[in-house]
Structure 1
Amino acid sequence: MMGYTLPAVLSVPAVVAAELLWLRTGLFRRPGYWISMAIVVAFQVPVDGWLTRLPDPIVGYNPDEMTGLRFPFDIPVEDYLFGFSLVTLTLLCWLRAKKKEEAA
C-alpha cells in the first residue's frame, strides 16, 4: 500500500501547507479556484474512469501498492489526491511567478 497511496496521501497536506505557510497566494479563498477544481473533477471522472475501468484497464496499477478503494467507475481514490495536488501546485506556482513578475 505504500508505493502509491502514501505519496498520494502526503501530497495533499504538503501542497496545502506550502500555500498556507510559505506561498500565501490566497488561492483557497478564490471562488475561481474551486470552480476550476470542480471542472477538473468533472473531466477526471469520465477520462480516468475510462482509463482505469475494470476488468480491462488501459492503465494498470499494482494492487499491492494501493488501498484498492475505487470510486466511481473503478477510479483509484489515490488519483483524486494526486489530481488535487498537481492542479493546485501548478496554480500556486503560476500565482507565485506572477507575483514575482509584478514585483520586478
Structure 2
Amino acid sequence: MPEYTLATGVTMIVVVLLELLWLRTGVFRSWQYWISMAIVLGFQVLVDGWLTKLSDPIVIYDPDRMLGVRWPFDIPVEDFGFGFAMVTLVIIVWKRTGRKDEADDGRAAGA
C-alpha cells in the first residue's frame, strides 16, 4: 500500500479511537462539530484544489506513494483524511482541556 495512503488511514483510525476510547468528548454526536467539518471541507477544497491542480501544481505528490485517486479539482483523496484527523484532533483536545479548566475554575470559585 502506498505510504501516504497508509499514513492517512492510520492517522484517521488513531484519532477516532482516541475520541471513542480515551478522551470521550462526544464531538461525533455534536452538530457543531459536523458544521465545522463542513466549513473546513469547503475551504480545503478551494485551497487544496489550487495547490494541487495538475495543470499548474504548487504541491507535487509522488504518485507511487498514494492511491492516485484525485477528486475534486485534482485533490488527492488522502488530503481529506489528514484534514479530518488534524481538525478532529485539535477539537477533541481543545474540548478535553477546556473541561478540565472549567472544572478547576469551579472548584477554585467554591473554595
TM-score range, shorter chain: over 0.9
In the alignment, structure 1 segments of 5+ residues that lack a partner are none
SS in structure 2 opposite 1:89? helix
> Quick one: distance in 2 between partners of 1:75 and 1:52?
6
Question: Alpha-carbon deviations, 1:17-57, whole Å to 9, x = none?
Answer: 11010000011111000000000011111110010000320
Mark the structure with the bigger radius of gyration: 2
Task: Give the % identical residues.
Answer: 61
User: What's the CA shift for 1:103?
Assistant: 2.3
Question: Alpha-carbon deviations, 1:36-82, whole Å to 9, x = none?
Answer: 00000111111100100003200111111111000000000000000
TM-score by length of 2: 0.89
Task: Compute the RMSD of aligned alpha carbons.
Answer: 1.0
User: What's the CA shift for 1:2?
Assistant: 2.9
TM-score by length of 1: 0.95
SS in structure 2 opposite 1:42? helix
Q: Indicate the residue corresponding to 1:55 in structure 2.
A: 55
2:74 is matched by which residue type in structure 1? Answer: D
